[in-house]
Amino acid sequence: MSSLLGSPQPTDSPAGWQSGAILQVSDLSVDYIMERGIVRAVEDVSFDVSPGEFVGIVGESGCGKSTLLFAIAQLLAPPATVSGGSVIFKGKNLVGLTDKKLAAIRWQDMSVVMQSAMNALNPVTSIGAQFKDAMRAHGVTSKEQIAERSAEVLKMVGIDPLHLKSYPHQLSGGMRQRSMIAMAMLFTPELVIMDEPTSALDVVAQRSLMIQIKELQQELGFAVIFVTHDMSLVRHFTDRLLVMYAGQVAELGATRQVFETPLHPYTAGLMDAFPSIRGPKVPLTGIPGSPPNLANPPAGCRFAPRCPKVMDICRTTAIPLYSVDGVQVRCLLYGNEEARG
Amino acid sequence: MRFVLRRIGFFVVTLWVALTLNFALPRLMPGNPAQVAIANHRGVIPPGALKALEAQFGLDNHQNIVLQYLKYLVDVVTGKWGVSLTTQPGNSVAHVVLGALPWTVGLVGVTTVLAFILGTGIGIVSAWRRGGPLDSILPPLFVIITVVPYFFLGLVLILIFGVKLHWLPYFFTYNYTLTPGFNWTFIGNVLEHAILPGFTLLITTIGTWILTMRNNMITTLAEDYVRMARAKGLPGWRIMLDYTARNAILPNLTGFAMSLGFVVGGAILIEEVFNYQGLGWLLLQAVNNDDYPLEQALFLLITVAVLVAILLSDIATAVLDPRTRGSR
């Protein structure tokens, strides 16, 4: 399997994950090229996704999580461009591939579910027509086959196939989001990239949708990259967690481990910002301040201005990722444990 | 279907209101054409001829107003629009209007449709290839041409291609020495006469469609569903047409329908500059010569045409945009 991966991986990429990863993101950087200068929205992000794995990406608004997703899916539009690194999906580097070559991989092997289904479904064509054009773009032309598969995936997410004839505006928010997920299942891809698929829904619809996604994932075995700002969703549904701050990886590790022993002060702050249903009453603290402007990021640790455990050295030194018991963390508190990894 | 019926109902009511206003306005004003005629020709027409003139103009003021109104409605619907007073004295207005109608529809109508199709097409492609060679040349060029007054451009073209080069005819709808008929000589001659005015209209109106369509496209290209179409791996032309253009064209449909409605009004200046004897030219003649029945008929025709165009645009929007098909 590793021979498929082409060039050897950079040494600082998160090691310890199976070489059978279907997706390897290495040192990925994304720049927004503006008239006033270049803004690096994603900087040197590396992580792997194994087949069937559920990876969560969390962070505040504007931390670059959606940009990272679109960079992985090669869906960036100007002024955003990938300025470095690679995205190796099933052994092929997607960065720099032409649209024609990407088209073969898209939807069949990797599909995308977007933040707001209201805007992500074409308002002027029916749900069925939007299923159909995806299938026809990938060589499925038989009418019966298209009708059969469309009905099948819609049933999978619990929607009556009658709604193939419906237009997006005729469906409720939850149904639209479900039909988007159904559309993403058309070819049973190996990786589904989800950008806050539940954030437009109320809590009840959110939960039932998440359970549905999890069930589908266990049944069909696809891997998921799931972006959200909702820590409670991440806790229950993901296997691994990537905490992003100001365009960088702050912490990356197994979800349970990260929740039990959050290493990065930012991760700990995120946890404290959510109430726990059980246990003693604890005042919610949150994180004072707001993320830095990426056009002019702090010289040292980007979290330093808001960090409760900040040291003088944090403000001046760029901080690498350290490995602590299999968890990657970008914090000087763990600098001395670097050697063991 | 219910939507279409509702729109047709709305159309009928609006039309009725327009017809009624057309009937009421002249009668609310003091005086009438017969009195004006007598006043204009003081001393020539004896005041005693008022009754005779009124009868001749069809101004039966002494009849019951309701009966007048009903007779008016019947006359309008059956094409009894009266007699032209000065433009083509004695000819029925319906005859005069029908004689000019095909020329205007042929010239202004065809160029309006052509400008919309070409402009929309160029707008689509230049937005899709934003910053490409087409996008860098055509939109700016047409912005400049659009602000040139079209009668002025017409005069320049007449000077160059008509007067100096003798390549193309530049007045009348066809060479009057020919007998109108369904043969190539005549049709070719008609087309030849339409080239200069048609071209002038086309290049001065196309810019608006290019610009608006390009801007709509660029806004739509930023929509999530366009990104989604890319994620689905659809071929580029499908994303461009089915996802982007299909949505971007919707705001332009109403504008297009309105401009189709105003086709019937003719392009007054163009028809005047090229002596092209269509409805616009006729309207100018009627206004200059105080030909009331003809004026009234033309204004009414414009009203009806705009209403029909709006009806068509409503139906087209309903076909293209399912969101408008709701119960409302």
Q: How many CB atoms lie within 10 A of CB B319?
A: 12
User: Sorting pLDDT into bands at 50, 70 and 90, what band is A61?
Assistant: confident
In the DSSP assignment, the letter for residue A56 is E
Of the three residues B47, B77, B107, the one that is the final residue of a domain is B77
> Is the omega angle on the peptide bond into residue A280 within 30 degrees of 0, that is, cis?
no
The answer to whether the CB atoms of B323 and A123 lie below 8 A apart is yes
Dist. CA A147–CA A155, nearest whole Å: 12
CB-CB: which of B232, B247, B320 is closest to A134?
A: B232
Cβ–Cβ < 8 Å for B286, B295: yes
Cβ–Cβ < 8 Å for B263, B105: yes
CATH classification of A2-7+16-109+187-337, choosing from 3.20.20.150, 1.10.10.10, 3.30.460.10, 3.40.50.300? 3.40.50.300
Residue B82 domain-assigned? no
CB-CB: which of A104, A106, A116 is closest to B232?
A: A106
Q: What is the pLDDT of residue A19?
A: 57
Mean pLDDT of B8-20: 90
A121 to chain B, closest Cα gap in Å = 5
> How many beta-carbon pairs under 8 angstroms link A with B?
83
Dist. CA B112–CA A49, nearest whole Å: 57
Cα–chain-centroid distance for residue A213? Answer: 14
Instruction: Say yes or no: B114 contacts chain A, CB-CB below 8 A.
Output: no
B289 and B151 fall within a common domain? yes
Mean pLDDT of B289-293: 78
CB-CB: which of A77, A115, A123 is closest to B247?
A: A123
CB-CB: which of A104, A112, A126 is closest to B231?
A: A112
Mean pLDDT of A108-128: 86
Looking at chain B, which residue has its C-alpha nearest residue A193?
B231
DSSP per-residue codes, A1-23: -GGGG-SPPPTTS--SS-TT-SE
Using alpha carbons only, give the angle B288, B294, B296 rounded to the nearest 5 degrees: 100
Beta bridge partners of A191: A110, A223
Q: What is the pLDDT of residue B326?
A: 64
Average pLDDT, chain B: 84
Q: What is the pLDDT of residue B117?
A: 95
Instruction: Say yes or no: A99 contacts chain B, CB-CB below 8 A.
Output: yes
B104 and B68 fall within a common domain? no
Mean pLDDT of B127-137: 88
User: Sorting pLDDT into bands at 50, 70 and 90, what band is B249?
Assistant: very high
B7 to chain A, closest Cα gap in Å = 20
Instruction: Say yes or no: A111 contacts chain B, CB-CB below 8 A.
Output: yes
Cβ–Cβ < 8 Å for A218, A230: no
Structural domain boundaries, residue B315: 93-325
Mean pLDDT of A60-77: 87
Q: What is the pLDDT of residue A117?
A: 63
Q: What is the pLDDT of residue A273?
A: 76
Q: What is the pLDDT of residue B17?
A: 92
Instruction: Give the residue, B82 or B248, on which the prediction is more confident.
Output: B248
Average pLDDT, chain A: 83
Looking at chain B, which residue has its C-alpha nearest residue A99?
B233
User: Sorting pLDDT into bands at 50, 70 and 90, what band is B59?
Assistant: low
Q: What percent of chain B clears pLDDT 90, i.e. is strictly above it?
A: 16
Instruction: Say yes or no: A225 contacts chain B, CB-CB below 8 A.
Output: no
Q: Give me the count of residues in chain A.
A: 341
- For residue B221, list chain A residues with Cβ-Cβ distance below 8 A: 77
Taking the domains of chain A in order of start, what are their residue ranges?
A: 2-7+16-109+187-337, 121-186
Q: What is the pLDDT of residue B327?
A: 47
B56 and B98 fall within a common domain? no
In this predicted structure, which of B100-104, B128-132, B152-156, B176-180 has the lowest mean pLDDT? B176-180
**pLDDT tens digits for A147-177?**
999 998 998 888 899 999 899 888 888 888 8
Of the three residues B27, B46, B77, the one that is the final residue of a domain is B77
Q: What percent of chain B clears pLDDT 70, i.e. is strictly above it?
A: 95
Of the three residues B46, B77, B108, the one that is the final residue of a domain is B77
Q: What is the pLDDT of residue B314?
A: 86
CB-CB: which of B223, B233, B243 is closest to A138?
A: B233
The answer to whether the CB atoms of B320 and A121 lie below 8 A apart is no
The answer to whether the CB atoms of B228 and A120 lie below 8 A apart is yes
Kindly report the pTM of this predicted structure: 0.80
**pLDDT tens digits for A41-50?**
888 999 999 8
Nearest to A127 by CA among A75, A186, A73: A186
Q: What is the pLDDT of residue A10?
A: 40
Dist. CA A56–CA A227, nearest whole Å: 6
Mean pLDDT of A104-129: 86
Cβ–Cβ < 8 Å for B196, B157: yes
- For residue A102, list chain B residues with Cβ-Cβ distance below 8 A: 233
Q: How many domains does chain B have?
A: 2
Residue B73 domain-assigned? yes
In the DSSP assignment, the letter for residue A64 is S
